[in-house]
Amino acid sequence: MALEARRVLVVHAPPDLFTYNDRQILASLGYAIYTPEEFEDARTLDRPHPDLRLVDERQLAEVPEDGGTTVPIVALTGRHGVTGADPRIVGALPRPPGMHDIYRVAQQLLEDTPRSTLRVAVHLSARIQRRGNSWLGVVLSLSENGCLVRSPEPLMLGSQLELSFRLPRAGELRVEAESAYQLVPDFGLIFHAAPPAVRGAIADYVREALLS
């Protein structure tokens, strides 16, 4: 079997982590999912190592060397995420990861122009609120569906929080969000039930920023 997908992801985790349909859908989007054994059987001289490894944190010691090439690792972990102590680890997803979350993280790590929704790099002061606590953070990239945020306080994967930030013209916006993934040292937030006016304001800002 030849490795013809645009991107190849090798999964070091229990074999029942992904359904057949999950693998088929990701393959149709350009991301082939292989077990380490399948990759060894399928690889060719023009694809000596995968683009990304998804590794259950309990199996990190089993990840092989890649001949001098550091293949980035997304750790499959618990709600506390990762610390970044292992330089190969560039992100984290809760275990078991959802197919959409894998696609989103792979896009952010591997593509120059991530698809799905338009996204722009920003540096916006933001207030994060969770369970009665409030602190300041920074939004580093923004789309109408979510953002990447840097927080001085630890966030837990899957946690629900409120985020508020200001945009030119639109003023202060507030959104309910979920901490869905980690791109060390930052966290990806997915907006939930944002009002159409808020989504529209963000979409307008992103479009204008991309045109400027």
CA–CA distance, 68 with 50 (Å, rounded to integer):
13
Specify the pTM.
0.70
Number of domains in the chain: 2
The answer to whether residues 14 and 101 belong to one domain is yes
CATH number for the domain harbouring residue 188: 2.40.10.220
Residue of 131, 179, 176 lying closest to 157 (CA atoms): 179
DSSP class of residue 97 equals P
**138-192: per-residue pLDDT in tens?**
999 999 999 999 999 999 999 999 999 999 989 999 999 999 999 999 999 999 8
* Domain assignment of residue 48, given as a range: 7-110
Question: What pLDDT shows up at residue 44?
Answer: 57
More confident of the two residues 66 and 73: 73
Q: Is the preceding peptide bond at 96 cis, omega within 30 degrees of 0? A: yes
CA–CA distance, 164 with 161 (Å, rounded to integer):
10
pLDDT at 206 over 70: yes
Mean pLDDT over all residues of the chain?
Answer: 87
CA–CA distance, 100 with 118 (Å, rounded to integer):
16
